[in-house]
Structure 1
């Protein structure tokens, strides 16, 4: 009977081990944005009438000490005239298993990502951003 319980325990433990995610151990490096909703950049953020806003590029730099900086560019075109704006952010991050919470140093909403191998995936309101180191 004890052997049967031990086998059952090992079987359940193995199953749970398969279901759980490996924790993130190191993230340092540069993670450029590779795709948004499965499409290459530039990504059309919005378009109405003669105005179009596109995400041209974006990247996370993750440093030792669990800090990050983020930079990218948005292009706004109004009736054929374009301007490019810089987007920057910096702060710290919190690791929880394979989840990462990016916390801006200026406040605002946290950005939640998952990490698998050299890929960070951020899902926000029906938009999936894939960053790859």
Structure 2
């Protein structure tokens, strides 16, 4: 009898878990970099370069553009492709020739690139 009660409880919890629906957020859109390794922008790298802003755009055709602006007034642009599945994102950066991972939770996109954790907020 105890096994039946445990089974009924487990089935009940499973049913509740499948009934719950979380709002679905589309990965496509524009994101602004908020933090690098937990530090708010502007962020100064160990070589003295200061990053003042970064805008990441994920397009519906699977391409991305990432525009970084620096304290010296210069900017750089990275372009590439991305794929997304269940909140996990793989970025194939054609400018730098690297692949890196990211994730989307609600409106917060997190990337891990060359040892740096970058946290973006969807605009």
TM-score normalised per structure 1: 0.69
Unaligned 5+ segments in structure 1 are 76-82
The structure whose residues are more often strand, as a share, is: 1
* Structure 2 residue aligned with 1:103: 92
Whole-angstrom distance in 1 between the partners of 2:114 and 2:87: 20
User: Which blocks of at least 5 consecutive residues in structure 2 are unaligned?
Assistant: none
- What is the TM-score of this pair, normalised by structure 2? 0.73
1:131 aligns with 2:112: no
SS of the residue corresponding to residue 92 of structure 1 reads strand
Q: Distance in 2 between matches of 1:105 and 1:128?
A: 20
Residue 39 of structure 1 deviates from its aligned partner by 2.0
The C-alpha deviation readout for 1:45-75, integer Å capped at 9, x for no partner, is 114xxxx211121111111122211110234
State which of 62, 66, 71 in structure 1 corresponds to 2:58: 62
How many residues get paired? 117
1:79 corresponds to which residue?
none
Root-mean-square deviation over aligned CA pairs: 3.2
Residue 10 of structure 1: aligned partner: 11
Structure 1 residues 43 and 27: CA distance shift in structure 2, 3 A: same
